[in-house]
Structure 1
């Protein structure tokens, strides 16, 4: 775009900046001034937010309003501070759920959820709105919160211009085409140029190698990336030495190890980067414990990255952020160790830290007073903490379910932090070598540019009830069909339809080879296919029967029964600690002879579970403590009960008695083609035909399932809500209006508990404890599903809450809907103690996971979520006592470290 195409507002805006605008910024801003919406996709640090700031400028100059939305509160706070410095406190407001500052200002920064809630509430603040900036719009791919972005995009008034800022995605054109469909005229601007070039390295021991052949790139930038040959030679030598060392170990009668490899200590890695002039650096370690261990390792060493004259400024910043923390809590917060590390220029950054600590680290890092940070990947999300270098210790991380390799998109997001615009002439990404690391794998991650954006939009209870109330069922279905999720699904259908057409043509050719539609070989092939299908169906039926028998037997087990788990990692003896509560999907809580405690299901049994004996249990069993698990496991082993081996179900297989199967087998054997000399040749053609026919039918079913899939889910939700009285005759009832205002992952469960009065009569601290069960989620696999609590009213309310959840789950299974998450009681005692004024250390220990105290950052985060839901209880409950208890509970929780964070 030429300079002459700049409009007067863009000229005026650019004149206020201390740097020249890049071409993509000029193109985006000019499109905005011309009345278009824009979608801007550019790398981290490229300056996308300048386009959002221009929307703010346009709103102020034209007398309109601009909402600037971000995915997380920390980003909202950061943007609020930036805009306040530029435009003054009177023109800029902030709304983040727990903070409301100058909310009537013409420019308001907020989290995306806040805007979604305002839209559903038909807030008067939406009047006069001319621009909405959606920072990090690629968050709509987030499987937990992504739907919020699409809800906003679909619901915003047509005259509001949308400024969507996204990381680089490979399907920007697809996303832009959808935006054009639902928002009208939208200009798509894609820029893949990093403002600061990024160099890729591998650190082998203390030797730093370039990943790619930089000489080849220098002479021909467009040439294909080639791995540096010096690195290849060195790694070959290293592997040869490793093998030789392993052989020597075996020759001496010792087990051979892979070169006895020991990774370089973290202090040595940081010192090496310092020697190369590559600090400040962020080292990504994909676990909080790993980050804390790295920091402790550095503190124990002599590593010191700060100058004496910097200490006063470091101390001042620390005091400003943490001066209001209660002195009695400093020890349990690890304050003194954390402070010593900061004074030496080293820090961690992860979600388990106290927010006040995290904000201190961010400010010190930006000012260059902290030069080495060990962080989890949460830092890569938008927080303004660029570094000269990013270090990756591993290319594998735990994704919540399993350990998985980093994707190219994740690698790019993490290494995108390297290179500070206006400070560094180049950024550096360093991967630490281990014997398992393949240089080609790193090269693939560093050079791949395919990370598509996939929608996570799905209708839920709150969304559906809001849609019905705003526009009725027919218009709601139409809106769902306009979602990006359905847009992508419909595009996938196009490929499936083409595949069906190709397969249909291929099937016609194969039929001709089998003698045509009336040919004997085609008849024989179809007969054999029917036989295979019947065998598969009977095999499935047998599995279902076995699963049903196992389910029935699990429901019959009682506390103290000793059973044998026949298969899987947990096989062996186990004692029932808590009987199953869900008849449809029984999951009794057990303790195994190997000291593992958790829930088992019918999937763990290939025959019915049977009580082999009984064991006396203490009245209260705390399976969360290692000592309790050890003592119980020892008692279980000493019972003398022995797990049976090699048992099989005595019930005959369904196939053995099936008449249809026997008839088909006789028909196949009696068919003329069965004894024909060229049977095998035609059978192979027949198998290809049958396989292709199955694939084609599967594709047809996928097309049928994909078309209008969101609308079908919506209809199932409406059916369930209708049965429960939230909708009647197509209209939202009084109970439905309550559900409209509950924004929680367990929205229907909360609404039912309020409607049925199960939380009435609770004291403030008790209410906080019970409410925590529907927001808290343990980090451990097993969670804390035992109904318990420090007082009788808490235990009663939790039991009633569980009963309501069981009923909702049964309805969801019947309607084929996603299941509401089971309540988790791991935070009950902790929040109860805290709300009653007990010390922080007691609350952290009470919320601990298997003997390990909860981190202060997690504690504050869960307290904030409990406060948020208590606020919703106050706003939606009918009972005055319950509303009053909610207010008092919020006040009781918001003290100490929680109050400092909320300030």
Structure 2
């Protein structure tokens, strides 16, 4: 058996779940393996590599991010040698014809669409971190690969523990054939949960009670509960003390609580033997501030011998950095922190810095890392202890409490297999944290996998090119997204059936469908429905009036905001002509500046007068707001005391008047039991409306992806990317099929229309950056281009986007995001060879320079898209400019550590 041969080469015995999965693979099955972080799932992927090599076939090993691909490539080279292993990440192409190739999942997706000859002889594909298919932005790639891989290829899917593994496995069985589902929830290194209150470290759970009764529910440690009650009692006593004489050092209330300083937390963990530790802080600035705080203290976690080893690794990764850039990169502070065993780790860091931290941490030379949650999703960097400062994080829209799945993912980094006997998770207590809340997070293992698969332009054009429109629709109907959608309607269909039974009973009580009172009940329902329709129409008309009035406003107009906490006079600083949702920028007499919308105006906005404004108004500064508000108040304009209410459409509606007359003249209107039967009729009508809504929901859910696909096909056919009736794609469609960008169709339209002709390399880089860059702050998205040609190209690009958006609205499709101008000047300066500090400042947001890590990341995304422009642009001049732009950008910090 090959499993015995493989196992004999390992330095450790295989766990039961590893053996089960490997046996299934050797028997020719596909496998889905769900196990906790650090459980050793990748061993199963390595066995797939072994099977492919021993049978003279190929194995592809895919990962979600380049850093993991690089790490896995190094592991497999150590085992099988450089000649047997290749690497493809977009940035790098090493030995792509090798029998074992490590790659990002996007690379494999692109290969499948291009029907690459490298696919020949492929027997196994390992999809590491397959739960990434839930990722909002990139998740569709995993499903595309699963659906497109040839049937004979065995798929090895490795996932974090998810609560719906059986559902995911059932779908895999449907689309891939025989698939074994192996779920293991046992952590290889036990995890102990703690709460740190001040300098005291408590167990979260009462383990003595658990030992006494193994079936007992987990209960919070009694000593922890008692200690917190004592603190709260002291805090209540403090609240009666005169100001300045309370026991503020104890903490515990929002007024006098002071968290333990970060250097003290690390020192306390060191005393307990709990280092190395990763402290998760949900902001980049917070991570950097934590390191700075430690540097200001006396904290040092390294010996002189370790400092020598640290400096050697630092020099290895950063020796090629331009000396002129070291100051702007914060190199010397970063280096001092590393030499003291302390580091930050987040996406805003220069890749060379981040990789240095990773190597030092894995080698035990850095012992305290302050990291954002991205570390938990990416690189293999376990610690003895994980510390959580807060149980709330910003999710991109609002501050939200951590979910049990997120808590499990973060604390999953605690406990190094083969090094630690146990791992530790420490939550730092602060007011508002309830021990029962932490206990709930720590004891719940819910992490459901939800598909994020949706048809997009590039995906659709590639599907049609490979298999035609009809077969493409069929493939979309086999996606995990549709599988989950169809399962979700099972309960709804049961509810519809139950409602039908109740409706029949209620109908009988009304004398049957042909009875007079049933007719009367239906007439009453028609009256109510018409009233609801007119009320809705009135709201729509009022909103449209408000929209029209807002789009008509001019800069300097003085208006009155009639309702809400911003009510009063305001002056228009920026207009907005969006026909659907205009949001002009205004400043109120109370010094508030912000955007208003139609929701603020139950009556149309009217200009009450106007005032002269400076050419440039910086509404973000308090002084500017104060001066303008003073000028506004001094205009003498008085807001109207009240606004006139719009007359209700119901008052003059003929149809409603006719229905009301019919109701009053109906024989049942004067019946003695009218009210009793009317209540039954209302129940019938209410249930009938609910049932119809459920039917519509089922109809919308069933085949929903295929309907979206049909709309995309209709738009692409209109714009001549698809031949008539979806039988093939045009030359324009061929170009679109090779553009992998969130703004793929917009890029294709700009190339097709020759909008970017005549631009120099730096100008083209600036224009292309608008397709990928996303400003971290809403509001001003940068200037309109540093040169005349680039400004012209950007203006035309915006026009094309506006036309495309109108088509997408008409076809009821998701809207292509607006080009973002925030990186134009920065990439232009960099591509022209200007210093790094100038480029970072040019990309700054509200006076803050862009971080070096973000700058490099955006530069590489621009390079990726420029590469696609170089291979797809119909114009030779544009292709040449794209090639030169790539070379111009790939220098200095962007070129270093490009892997």
Residues of 2 paired with 1:593 and 1:751: CA distance?
47
Tell me the equivalent position of 2:144: 151
Question: How far has the Cα of 1:548 moved from its partner?
Answer: 1.5
SS at match of 1:902: coil
Match of 2:823 among 823, 827, 835: 827
Alignment of 1:671-750 (within 5 A): 685-729=680-724, 730=726, 731-750=728-747
The separation in 1 between residues aligned to 2:418 and 2:742, in whole angstroms, is: 42
Matched, 1:772 2:772: no
How far apart are the structure 1 equivalents of 2:445 and 2:581? 43
TM-score by length of 2: 0.94
CA shift, 1:392, in A, is 1.0
Aligned partners of 2:440 and 2:16: how far apart in 1?
A: 29
Q: Determine if contact 2:870/2:883 at 8 Å carries over to the other structure.
A: yes
Deviates more, 1:690-699 or 1:587-596: 587-596
- Could you tell me which residue of structure 2 aligns to residue 485 of structure 1? 481
Quick check: 1:465 aligned with 2:458?
no
Q: CA offset at residue 576 of structure 1?
A: 4.5
> Among residues 333, 339, 342, which one is paired with 2:329 in the alignment?
333
The corresponding residue for 2:872 is 876
Counterpart for residue 228 of structure 1: 221
Partner of 2:840: 844
Q: Deviations over 1:591-633 (max 9, x none)?
A: 666777665543444333333444445556677x748965884
For residues 641-680 of structure 1, the C-alpha deviation after alignment (integer angstroms, 9 at most, x for no partner) is 6573665354312223223334455566666777777766
Pick from 312, 318, 336: which aligns with 2:314? Answer: 318
* Pair 1:498 & 2:491 matched: no
In the alignment, does 2:530 pair up with 1:551?
A: no
Secondary structure of the corresponding residue to residue 310 of structure 2: helix
Alignment of 1:114-513 (within 5 A): 114-248=107-241, 258=254, 260-513=256-509
1:789 is paired with a residue of what secondary structure?
A: coil
1:568–1:722 CA distance, 2 compared to 1 (3 A): farther
Equivalent of 1:74 in 61, 67, 79 = 67
Deviates more, 1:682-691 or 1:387-396: 682-691
1:493-529 superposed Cα distances (whole Å, 9 cap, x missing partner) = 2111111111222223334455544566655554444
Number of aligned positions between the proteins: 894
Residue equivalent to 1:653: 648
Answering whether residue 635 of structure 2 is matched by residue 640 of structure 1, we say: yes
Task: Describe the shift of the 1:889–1:674 C-alpha distance in structure 2 as closer, same or farther (beyond 3 A).
Answer: same
Q: Distance in 2 between matches of 1:595 and 1:121?
A: 58
Distance 1:436 1:156 in 2: 50
Q: Give the drift of 1:63.
A: 1.1
Q: Is the contact between residue 765 and residue 866 of structure 2 (CA under 8 Å) also seen in structure 1? A: yes
Greater alpha carbon shift after TM alignment, 565-574 vs 862-871? 565-574
Residue 26 of structure 1 aligns to a residue whose secondary structure is helix
- Does 2:106 align with 1:113? yes
The question of whether the paired residues in 2 share the 8 Å contact of 1:787 and 1:798 is answered with: no
Distance 1:81 1:141, change over 3 A: same
| 1:820-872 alpha-carbon deviations (Å, 9 max, x no partner) | 00111111111111111111111111111111111111111100111111111
Instruction: Give the drift of 1:228.
Output: 1.7
Provide the C-alpha distance between the structure 2 equivalents of 1:468 and 1:595, rounded to a whole number of angstroms: 56
Q: For structure 1, which segment, 416-425 or 210-219, has the greater mean C-alpha deviation from structure 2 after superposition?
A: 210-219
Counterpart-to-counterpart distance in 2, 1:262 and 1:252: 16
| 1:759 corresponds to 2:762 | no
Q: Among residues 802, 806, 816, which one is paired with 1:806 in the alignment?
A: 802
**What RMSD over aligned residues (CA atoms) do the two structures have, in Å?**
2.7
Deviations 1:391-424 (A, max 9, x none): 1111111111111111111111111001111111
- Unaligned runs of 5+ residues in structure 1 are 1-7
**Structure 2 residue aligned with 1:3:** none
8 A contact 1:598–1:782 mirrored in 2: no
User: Compared with structure 1, are the counterparts of its residues 873 and 593 closer, same or farther at alpha carbon in structure 2 (3 Å cutoff)?
Assistant: farther
Query: Residues of 2 paired with 1:673 and 1:239: CA distance?
Result: 67
Confirm or deny: 8 A CA contact 1:621 1:628 kept in the other structure. no
Unaligned runs of 5+ in 2: none
- SS for the counterpart of 2:354 is helix
1:439 to partner: Cα distance:
1.5
After superposition, the Cα gap between the structure-2 partners of 1:301 and 1:755, relative to the gap in structure 1 and judged at 3 Å, is: same
Residues 626, 54 of structure 1: alpha-carbon distance in 2 compared, 3 angstrom cutoff: farther
SS in structure 2 at match of 1:727: coil
Could you list the per-position Cα deviations for residues 16-49 of structure 1 after superposition, in whole angstroms to 9, with x for gaps in the alignment? 1111000110111111111111100001111111
Matched, 1:102 2:95: yes
Q: Distance in 1 between matches of 2:564 and 2:333?
A: 43
For the 8 Å contact 2:592–2:625, the answer to whether it is kept is: no
CA deviations on 1:302-329 (whole Å, 9 max, x unpaired) are 1111122210001111111111111111
Work out the CA distance in 2 between the residues paired with 1:680 and 1:112: 65
Q: Which is further off, 839-848 or 677-686?
A: 677-686
1:864 paired residue among 855, 860, 876? 860
- Mapped to 2, the partners of 1:598 and 1:885 lie a distance apart of 41
**Greater CA drift, 643-652 or 812-821:** 643-652
CA distance in 1, matches of 2:787, 2:615: 16
Counterpart-to-counterpart distance in 1, 2:878 and 2:718: 26
Q: Is contact 2:562–2:643 with CA below 8 Å preserved after alignment? A: no
- Return the alpha-carbon distance in structure 2 between the equivalents of residues 189 and 32 of structure 1: 12
- Equivalent position SS for 1:901: coil
Structure 1 range deviating more: 605-614 or 440-449: 605-614
Per-residue deviation at 1:557? Answer: 2.9
Query: CA-to-partner distance for each residue in 1:218-277, whole Å, 9 max, x for gaps?
Result: 234343212222222222333333333334469999x99646222211112112211211
SS of equivalent residue, structure 2 residue 386: strand
Cα separation, 2, equivalents of 1:84 and 1:530: 74
Residues 591 and 823 (structure 1 numbering): CA distance in 2 closer, same or farther, change over 3 Å?
farther
Partners of 2:603 and 2:645 within 8 A in 1? no
Q: Do 2:321 and 2:893's aligned partners in 1 also have CA atoms closer than 8 Å?
A: yes
Change in CA separation of 1:602 and 1:804 when aligned onto 2, cut-off 3 Å = farther
Q: In the aligned structure 2, how far is the partner of 1:643 from the partner of 1:506?
A: 60
Higher mean displacement: 687-696 or 118-127: 687-696
Aligned partner of residue 193 in structure 2, secondary structure:
strand
